[in-house]
Every structure is written in structure tokens, then in C-alpha cells.
Structure 1
Amino acid sequence: MVLAMTAALFVWLGGYAVLCAVKPFALCRRCRGLGEIQRFGKPRLCPRCHGDRLRLRLGRRAHNAWRRTHEAGTR
């Protein structure tokens, strides 16, 4: 059972890594990709994505941070 759960975890992580490489941006969670939200009855610019409608995925953010650290250490 533990072996099956470990294998499933590795398959999920591999799939997420491929998703982050192929499609690094996802829809903003706060505005659901609309770019604006309703505040006090008026449409306002989304404070999280600033109207871009997209956000960088967590895995891609971690990959970029790792790559920056690696490049800074190998110069």
C-alpha cells in the first residue's frame, strides 16, 4: 500500500512539473481570471493580479528561485 501511494505521489509530482514547464501561468484565484472584482458595488482592478488575469504557479515560482540561486552560486 505504501509503495502504491509513493508511486502515485511521484506520478502526480511529475505531472505537475510538466504542467509548470508547459503552462507556467494559471488564472488568478481571486478574480477567477476576469481581472476585476466587485468592491462596494463597483468593479475594481484585482489587487492580486493587477488586472493581468494570470498568476505564476507555485511550482514555477519555486523552480525560478532554485534556478536563480544556482546561477548566482556558479558564477
Structure 2
Amino acid sequence: MKTDNKTLIEIKRLHEQYVKEVEFSGIKPLSIEIYKSHSKNFVRWIHGDFVPGGKLKKTMEDNILKEQNQAV
């Protein structure tokens, strides 16, 4: 976790408020989803539950291991 519990609770509360404002902002549905998912990932990162590019890195590592095993 990148911060203390009290601060994280406040960040989550503010994030809920942000999501509501985004949903009622009048922007296009795809933009709403992008705003929501990116901000959610930021909150997850603060909590220690998200690594930017983590899924991509995992996929690349899996592919390298697969290639190494095929070469043997």
C-alpha cells in the first residue's frame, strides 16, 4: 500500500464522487468508461493491487518461457 488506511478510505470516497460526476457529465459512453477504468486503476495502484503494465509484462514473460521450453 502506498499510503495509510485513513487516507486510502478518503481517496476511495472521493473516487466514488468522481465516478458519479463523470457518469453525469454528458461525455460519450466510451469516454466515461475510460475515465472510470483509469481512475480505478490509480486507486488500485495506491492500494498496492495494481502494477501498470503488469499484465503485459506477465504475458511477455510467459511467451519467453514458452519459447525457451520449445527450444530445449
TM, length-normalised to structure 1: 0.35
Q: Which has the higher helix share?
A: 2
Q: Higher relative CO (CA 8 A, sep ≥ 6), structure 1 or 2?
A: 2
Please report the TM-score for the alignment, with normalisation by the length of structure 2.
Answer: 0.36
